[in-house]
């Protein structure tokens, strides 16, 4: 099975994979505040992990992670709030976003060059679930439906998880997300810091709300989502055949 990371390929590797398995995986998400207990790279690390698991199964080319994304904004009393700041009503240091149109144009250009290179299918995966982010990746999927390279946009909102893999009220940086990151690397989650800052408490990141975090849950969620994504990829292959 041909399986390459784009940044470490030689040109002859590229020619080979384009002939035999022209699928490319692109993880994209911004660095973003996820409470005092999670790393800023939560969303991009989640997208990359999922695509790595699929890539290990199906082969193709894995792109370097794009640490970029967008979010909703709110202006109140002359102050501009982004993402979770809108709910906390205060600035939260750490998140790095770009305007929606900037995000769209960047991805559009990258996808154009992947298509120009000769790939036939791009899996565009975001771990960041902000509405403007989802709108951009789904718009790009739609725009590529009749082109030489199809785009399959992917996010966990497309997954119908069984009840045992969900909490009744999923939170941003909550049990599900924290468990997934814990399953990637134990050092990426600091359970002792849950709810330790006032801003965390403003957005319901409290110990009593996050007591179900577990590495096992994270592994099970990733494994379930991998199977769901592979099903969708196979549908794309069947349409192209």
Distance from C-alpha of 185 to C-alpha of 164, rounded to nearest angstrom: 22
CATH number of the domain where residue 109 is located = 3.40.50.10310
Residue ranges of E strands in 6-58: 23-28
Helix-then-strand count for the chain, H and E: 8, 7
Question: Coil, helix or strand for 1?
Answer: coil
| pLDDT at 241 > cutoff 80 | no
3-5/60-62 β-pairing:
parallel
Distance, in Å, from the CA atom of 205 to the CA atom of 9, rounded to the nearest integer, reads 42
Does a structural domain hold residue 192? no
Half-sphere exposure of 221 (CA within 13 A, CB side): 28
Confidence band for 240, pLDDT divided at 50, 70 and 90? low
Structural domain containing residue 22: 3-165
* pLDDT tops 90 at residue 25: yes
Residue 199 placed within a domain: no
How many whole angstroms separate alpha carbon 149 and alpha carbon 231?
19
For residue 239, pLDDT beyond 80: no
Q: Residue 70 pLDDT > 90, yes or no?
A: yes
In a domain, 222, yes or no: no
pLDDT tens profile 89-134: 999 999 999 999 999 999 999 999 999 999 999 999 999 999 999 9
Does a structural domain hold residue 59?
Answer: yes
Contact 127/44 with Cβ under 8 angstroms? yes
Asked whether residue 228 is domain-assigned, the answer is no
Residue 207 within any structural domain of the chain: no
172-193 per-position pLDDT tens digit: 999 999 999 999 999 999 999 9
Q: Give a yes or no: residue 182 inside a domain.
A: no
Q: What is the pLDDT of residue 218?
A: 98
Confidence (pLDDT) at 1: 84
Burial class (CB in 10 A: 0-12, 13-18, 19+), 131: exposed
Q: Give the mean pLDDT of 71-85.
A: 94
**Residue written as token pair 């965390």:** 200
State residue 49's pLDDT score. 99
For residue 38, the Cα-to-chain-centroid distance in whole angstroms is: 15
Question: Per the structure, how many domains does the chain have?
Answer: 1
119, 148 Cβ separation under 8 angstroms? no
Establish if 212 belongs to a structural domain: no
Closest to 220 (Cα-Cα) out of 150, 159, 146, 165: 165
Q: What is the pLDDT of residue 169?
A: 82
The predicted structure's pLDDT at residue 116 = 99
């Amino acid at each position: 099975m041909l399986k390459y990371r784009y940044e470490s390929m030689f040109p002859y590797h590229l020619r080979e994979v384009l002939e035999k398995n022209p699928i490319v995986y692109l993880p994209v998400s911004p660095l973003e505040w996820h409470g005092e207990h999670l790393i800023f790279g939560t969303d991009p690390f989640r997208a990359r992990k999922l695509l790595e698991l699929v890539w290990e199964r199906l082969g193709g080319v894995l792109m370097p992670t794009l640490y970029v994304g967008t979010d909703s904004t709110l202006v109140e009393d002359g102050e501009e709030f982004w993402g979770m700041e809108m709910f906390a009503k205060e600035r939260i240091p750490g998140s790095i976003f770009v305007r929606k149109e900037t995000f769209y144009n960047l991805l559009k250009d990258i996808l154009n060059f992947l298509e120009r290179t000769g790939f036939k299918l791009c899996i565009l995966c975001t771990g960041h679930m902000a509405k403007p982010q989802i709108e951009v990746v789904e718009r790009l999927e739609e725009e590529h439906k009749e082109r030489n390279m199809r785009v399959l946009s992917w996010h966990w909102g497309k997954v119908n998880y069984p009840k045992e893999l969900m909490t009744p009220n999923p939170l941003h940086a909550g049990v599900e997300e924290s468990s997934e990151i814990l399953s990637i690397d134990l050092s990426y989650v600091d359970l002792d810091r849950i709810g330790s800052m006032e801003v965390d408490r403003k957005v319901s990141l409290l110990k009593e709300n996050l007591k179900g975090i577990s590495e096992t849950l994270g592994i099970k969620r990733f494994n379930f989502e991998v199977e769901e994504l592979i099903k969708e990829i196979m549908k794309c292959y069947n349409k192209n055949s």
